[in-house]
A and B are shown apart, each in its own frame.
Chain A
Amino acid sequence: MAEEKKAYETRSIKRLEATKTASAYQKEWFKSLKPRVEAGEPFALVGADAPMEILRAMDIPFVVYQWWTAICAAKQMNTQMYGYIRDAGYRDDICSYCSTAYACALDPHPEEGPWGGLPKPSILITQSECAVMGKIENLMAEAFGAEQYTMQRYYEPVITDKWWEKTIEHWDQLANERRRAFFERELRDLIAFLEQKTGRMFDMNKLREIMDYVNEQDYWYRKTRDLIAETKPCPVTISDTVNAVMQAQWQRGTKWATEHAKSLYEEVKFRADNNMPAVPNERIRLMWIGRGLWFNLAFYNYFEEKYGAAFIWSMYLGLAADAYGRENYESDPLKALGTRFSMITDFLHTPPFNSEWFLKEARHNQVDGVVLLTSENCMNNGDFYYNMVKTLEDNGFPVCLLRADPADAKKWNQETMTAAVEDLIVNRIEPKLK
């Protein structure tokens, strides 16, 4: 399958070595994955909320299927992919973020996909967040011939104010005891399933090692986030950090990922120390809330050049900094890990966890405005945007709401979307700067 050419530039400017290194590493990792899978090793396709550390501790390679969507979108392949879904009798205009991997299973030429195509998984681990996600996972499992394992979810009965102050050092104060115990049991059940399925024994000491790496990796992300937040003009933009962080998060808990996070920090620090702003004419700092615009990461560059408006914040680095680390886990690694994988969704999508964090990050990163991307065709879409917008705007951060599909370029209207962000800059931010 060939990449589709667009009338507008879709590839962003890559300033950092860390971004290039991450992409190169992923490609190589992927190449090495194929022969392993073909030789009969287990391979898991997982949802973004799956506890990947457990798989890593058992040396089971995995791909996060929503991240795979991002890769396919960046390669401009998704629109064609969704055609396979349509041909199979489903709708090609909804649920795109979750259905790309299923489309790959229907692709008559899977080897032409990104990086040689998605290998055939033997295990599918999910934690269905909405009715549709569960269905698509059923279809994926059937199409790939993979065994589906669904982890149960449990709602958050308690509102934890300033959750980001508790995640790393005081994770035992997150959620209530019942919920923590619930997710620990879910992890134990998953381990039992994987042991039975693969014949491999889980090693708690290996998990401890992985969690140490994760803590170190996220320490570097915190330093990077803080450095970006405090440096004006900013040494990097999200065009630099989104890929560098997301691809390394895929390898979270490895020596490579930890070193990569450190190198990312050092590179950003070098730029900050040597007065190398990403946008030399930086006048405005913007926050991008929502999924990455994978098929068009160059979108951000236009505003840099024309208005000196730099998109400096995205959830990928912010969340890596505040939500993943778990110190003092030694006595109970599974319980600590449980508070992570169960609560990421809360932090991002559940009010008021999400709005309070976005406000904290907006202040910390000294942004002038916010662009909020809402995924148009996602049935699970609903983070209480009213509350998010009100919380941000009441505190002096004007918000522009963009309704778009971050995975499928076919409905993207470059002109309209550009005009919406321009309106935010020209009519709501610039007057305040004068």
Chain B
Amino acid sequence: MAIRNEARSCDAFVKLKAAYDDRKAVLKAWKDSGRGVVCIAGYDVPEEIILAAGMLPFRVTGYYGGARVSADKYLEYSFGAIWKGLWESIAEDYAGLMDHLVFCSSSDMFLKLFYYFRTMQRLEPERPLPELKYLDYELVEHVFKSQERNERELRDLIETVEGWSGKKITSDDLRAAIALCNEYRAALTEFSALRGKENCRVTGSEALVVIGGSMYMEKREAIDLIRAVTEAAKGWPAAEGERIYYVGSPQETTEVYELAEANGLNIVGEDHDMGARMFDTQVRTTIEPVSALAERLLMRMPSSEKGSIAARVKAIGDKLAETGADGFLTYMNNNDEAYVWDYPSIRKNVLEPRGIPSYTVQKQTWPLTEPETLSQQFRDFAATIKEGQ
């Protein structure tokens, strides 16, 4: 299981994996190309706006190359693995490579990091930090007031990006970028059908590579490669392992998925933005483009950070049905615990009525402190699901 030989011998997959594995190289190459790169920290910054300005959107993820020395020095213990990794990337690993960085309110932790880096610009002016921008959406309440507010934030972003690129963004530019990104999301949706119950051809870790790798490519190339992998994967052997839906801390590498797969599980869907949530809703093309982009922010699957318990119960119920998962895994990093407060309601209203077994892993760190224990937990969970069947 995990990433299989069939995937490793597929040219398109190999290219996606190269981008996935060395994001910094992509950032360097893009910066050297002189096209202008806008870095993104958050899950709700529309790439369409950046592409419409002729710039390249680069999603910043955590540093996984070793100890996070800077993060350990500057951040409180309440920052879990994802947030420490992000700090390390921005403050150290990508230092000097980023010119512009847009944070957004997908999680309150992004706001904290924005405030911290804004303060760092005063505290250590010699540190090579990018120009910062924050987009403060309302993502919890799905009401007109939120739509209006979010549109205003996006218009602000457009103005900012126009300043960075020196190019006026027209409605036609935005429509073209929306069409391209919709095509990209459609390609990923088609690929993800291969994680389905009837004809499961890709493993969770293979899916993470394709989804994540495609983020670090220009969209046209990404679409072509995703389609090529999709075609190839139709001929791959069935992906084995008990089918589970993953809820919890974003997985920016395949480590945890591969561990799950090595112990009898296969993650067939997830609620995080390095996986399926990233492309789960299209942008409407029949309405004014900024309005459509703002609408998507509220139409996406609610994240645990920004969704009410009731909204999460409904969304998880839908996703379990859509993916045909036979088990439900909640995996939380230390201090990344919004999920704890969703879970009993999900269990009561979705899992128990449908007879879906669940397992919760908590207080995880990076690097994993006890992979053997985690392996055993995954094995036990796989056995429980099998027994139930």
Q: Which residues from chain A sit less than 8 Å from chain B, CB to CB? A: 88-91, 94-95, 128-132, 134-136, 138-139, 150, 152, 154-155, 157, 159, 189, 350-352, 374, 378-387, 390, 403
Q: Which residues from chain B sit less than 8 Å from chain A, CB to CB? A: 73-79, 105, 107-109, 111-112, 114-116, 118-119, 122-123, 134, 136, 138, 140-141, 145-146, 149, 304-306, 308-310, 335-338, 340-344, 347
Q: Is the interface of A mostly helix, strand, loop or mixed?
A: loop
Closest 3 CB pairs of A and B: A135-B341, A89-B344, A131-B338
| Contact assessment for A152 and B141 in the assembled complex, using a CB-CB cutoff below 8 Å | yes
| Contact assessment for A382 and B79 in the assembled complex, using a CB-CB cutoff below 8 Å | yes
Given that A150-B140, A351-B116 are known contacts, is A132 also in contact with B341, CB under 8 Å in the complex? Answer: yes
The contact of A131 among B77, B108, B123, by CB within 8 Å, is B108
Given that A139-B309, A155-B136 are known contacts, is A384 also in contact with B116, CB under 8 Å in the complex? Answer: yes
| Contact assessment for B78 and A378 in the assembled complex, using a CB-CB cutoff below 8 Å | yes
**A240 to B8 Cα, complex, angstroms:** 69
| Contact assessment for A94 and B340 in the assembled complex, using a CB-CB cutoff below 8 Å | yes
Chain A residues within 8 Å of B338, by CB: 131-132, 135, 379
Query: In this complex, what residue of A is CB-closest to B78?
Result: A381
| Contact assessment for A379 and B344 in the assembled complex, using a CB-CB cutoff below 8 Å | no
Given that A138-B308, A155-B111 are known contacts, is A352 also in contact with B122, CB under 8 Å in the complex? Answer: yes
Given that A131-B304, A132-B341, A381-B76 are known contacts, is A390 also in contact with B111, CB under 8 Å in the complex? Answer: no
The contact of B347 among A89, A352, A390, A403, by CB within 8 Å, is A89
How close is B27's CB to chain A, nearest CB, in angstroms? Answer: 26
**A155 to B149 Cα, complex, angstroms:** 13
Query: In this complex, what residue of B is CB-closest to A137?
Result: B308
**A306 to B108 Cα, complex, angstroms:** 43
Chain A residues within 8 Å of B111, by CB: 155
Query: In this complex, what residue of B is CB-closest to A159?
Result: B118
**A138 to B122 Cα, complex, angstroms:** 38
Instruction: Add 18 more A-B contacts to A131-B305, A134-B308, A379-B338 (CB < 8 A).
Output: A88-B344, A89-B343, A89-B344, A90-B344, A95-B337, A131-B306, A132-B337, A136-B341, A138-B310, A155-B111, A157-B134, A351-B115, A352-B122, A379-B335, A383-B76, A384-B116, A384-B119, A385-B76
**A378 to B78 Cα, complex, angstroms:** 8
| Contact assessment for A135 and B309 in the assembled complex, using a CB-CB cutoff below 8 Å | yes
Given that A88-B344, A94-B337, A131-B304 are known contacts, is A386 also in contact with B74, CB under 8 Å in the complex? Answer: yes
How close is A338's CB to chain B, nearest CB, in angstroms? Answer: 15
**A50 to B226 Cα, complex, angstroms:** 49
| Contact assessment for A150 and B141 in the assembled complex, using a CB-CB cutoff below 8 Å | yes
| Contact assessment for B78 and A382 in the assembled complex, using a CB-CB cutoff below 8 Å | yes
**A403 to B73 Cα, complex, angstroms:** 16
The contact of B145 among A89, A91, A129, A189, by CB within 8 Å, is A189
